[in-house]
Structure formats: structure tokens, C-alpha cells
Structure 1
Amino acid sequence: MDDHKDDELGILARRRIEAAIIAPVYDEMRKAVGENKARDILRRAIRRAAIDAGTEMASRAAGGADLESFKAILPLWTKDDALTIEVIDDKPGVLDFNVRRCRYAETYRAMGLGEIGEILSCNRDGAFCEGYDPRIKLTRTQTIMGGASHCDFRYRADPPQKT
């Protein structure tokens, strides 16, 4: 592992910087094309970026991308106390956890971007999996960003294809 990895900017800090750049662009899009169209454009752009990020991260997964290597990179999202996670189940092909505190949600709300926080953050989670390994499926029925007490992440992985 590279020694400089600990010096890398955490994802929470990156999201804060991205949001500061996106906010005025989003505001101009709303004025130009309306709220619904602006939200749709932003949702599609963030989703595409998340898929691309998943693909890029998968290319660096030692031994290949799968749910087990995905579990190993989870600390990237929790760095800097960004998420407080309660693991419910962790076994081959399964990862279930609840997020009890989400500083991503707190950050977007503090920036006045709570109304698009779901697009900027939650929208990425399943899309990232698509790029990382399409066999990984995320089910989530609620989020802190949406007003729930916790986010319920439930990951399942289809078994590898027989060749």
C-alpha cells in the first residue's frame, strides 16, 4: 500500500469542494431550464460520475473487483468520521449496515444544499456499484438525507459466472 494514501483528501472533503462548485452551476441551471430539468441533469451527471469512479476504483482492486474487495474500500467513505456505521451482517456475498450519523448530509444541509443532498450523495451509492462490479446490488429503503433516523444499506453479490 502507498505510504501517501493517508495524506489523500478524504471523500467528505472532496464532496464539500464539489458541492461548492456545483451549487452556483445548479442555481444557474434552475434559472435557465427550471427546477425539475436542473435536478434531472444533475442526477444524471452525478450518476455517470459515480459509475466512472466505481470503474476506476475496480481497476485498482487487487485480485479483482467483487463484494469482498468492495468491503475493503469502505473506510474511504468513513474517513474523517464521515459516517458512523453499525454493521448488521458481514459474510461472503452479504454486507448489511446502518449509517447512524452521516456527515455528508450534515455538510450539504450546512451549505444550504439539503434539497439536493440526495442527488449529490445518496444517488452515487448504487451507481458506484454498477461501475465497480455490476454483480453487487444495493437495496436501501431510507436515508438520513431523506429525514430517516438512519440509512439502511443492504448489499448482495451475485456469485461469479462459471466459465
Structure 2
Amino acid sequence: MVEANEVAISHLQRRKIEGRVLIPFIQVLRDRFGEDAMRDVVDETIRRLAAEDGARWAATYGQTTSSLRAVAQEVWAGGGGLDVQLVGESEDHLDFNVTRCRYAEFYKELGLANLGVHVHCNRDRAMLAGFNDELELSRSQTIMEGGACCDFRFRKRP
């Protein structure tokens, strides 16, 4: 949702803007406090923000697997951020593959794919907790980490 005084931008554009601010900040954190402390701070911050995003998307779209598909297609893939291939969907599961990830391309262009995993990919489980804690995510690979695709498999918890 765009407020009256905001300019509509895609999710990808938002993440690129955030990345241009976060990356130098994260590099300073690493230089001053070390790799482990930097990862702890970044991971905690990203998890908190992701859970807030998930709750906001649940309020807007609903909390079902079809609502989650709408978030993936309209928000995450909106503006060309992802190429998404739906594999299967029912009331209790949603399976899709991301076959192209422009978020990963952005971080790889900067030579920072390892940081992209922390800033972008690590959001998914925390987002899901904020979206609907009755769902769980399994994923065996991501493009950011060199996989052929990102294989998202969402299931209702038993």
C-alpha cells in the first residue's frame, strides 16, 4: 500500500535502495566488531523487519497459501524482481521455484552474494512467522548461494 505522499516503487527497487545504505553500514560493523558480531546484528535486525513485513502482508492479503502466492507474485516478483514458476498449490501447501532472481543479480554485481544471503534470503522464515506461524518453509537451494533455482516449499504444520 502506498501512502498519499509516497512514490510507488517495486519491492526490488526498495531492496536495492536499502542495500545501498545497508552494505556500507554492515561493512563498518564487520570492520569494527568482527564477522560474528556483524552477522548477529544483521540477522537479528533482518528477522525483526521480515516478521513485520509478513504481518503487514497478512493484514493486506490474508494468511492462506493462496495469499502467500499473491505476495510472491505481486510483491516479490512485482516490477521484475523474480521469475516464479508455480509447481503446486492447495490449501495446505504452496510450491514454487524462482528461476531468476534479480535480487541475487544485484548483490552478485556488487561482489556481495554472501551478504545478500543475510540481507535478503534470510528474511523468508522470519517473514513467514509474521505472516502465518502455522506455515513452515523448506528450501534446499537459492540462486544467491549458487543454486540453479530457489525451491520454495511452504506447508501447513501438522
Q: Percent identity?
A: 37
In the alignment, what sits opposite 1:127?
126
Contact 1:90–1:96 (CA<8 Å) still a contact in 2? yes
* TM-superposition CA deviations, 1:75-96 (whole Å, max 9, x none): 2110122111111111221111
Residue of structure 2 in register with 1:141 after alignment: 140
Matches within 5 A, 1:5-154: 8-61=8-61, 64-74=62-72, 75-154=74-153
Tell me how far apart the structure 1 counterparts of residues 79 and 57 of structure 2 sit (CA, whole Å).
20
Aligned mates of 2:157, 2:89 — CA distance in 1: 15
Conservation of the 8 A alpha-carbon contact between 1:53 and 1:131 = yes
Q: Which structure would you say has the larger Rg? A: 1
Per-residue CA deviations over 1:121-150 (Å, capped at 9, x if unaligned) read: 110111111001101111001111111111
Deviation, structure 1 residue 32: 1.1
Contact 2:12/2:79 (8 A) holds in 1: yes
TM-score of the pair, normalised by structure 2: 0.89
Tell me the amino acid that sits aligned with residue 140 of structure 2.
T
Which range is displaced more, 16-25 or 31-40?
31-40
Q: Which structure 2 residue ranges, 5 or more long, are not aligned? A: none
Contact 1:66 1:136 in 2 (8 A): no
1:9 match: secondary structure: coil
TM-score, normalised on structure 1? 0.87
Q: Distance in 1 between matches of 2:96 and 2:140?
A: 12
CA contact (8 A) 2:64 2:91 kept: no
Number of residue pairs the alignment of both structures matches: 154
Q: Within 1, Cα distance between the matches of 2:69 and 2:149?
A: 20
RMSD: 1.9
Which residue identity is paired with 1:58?
Answer: A
Residue identity opposite 1:45 in structure 2: T
8 Å Cα contact 1:10-1:80 kept in structure 2: yes
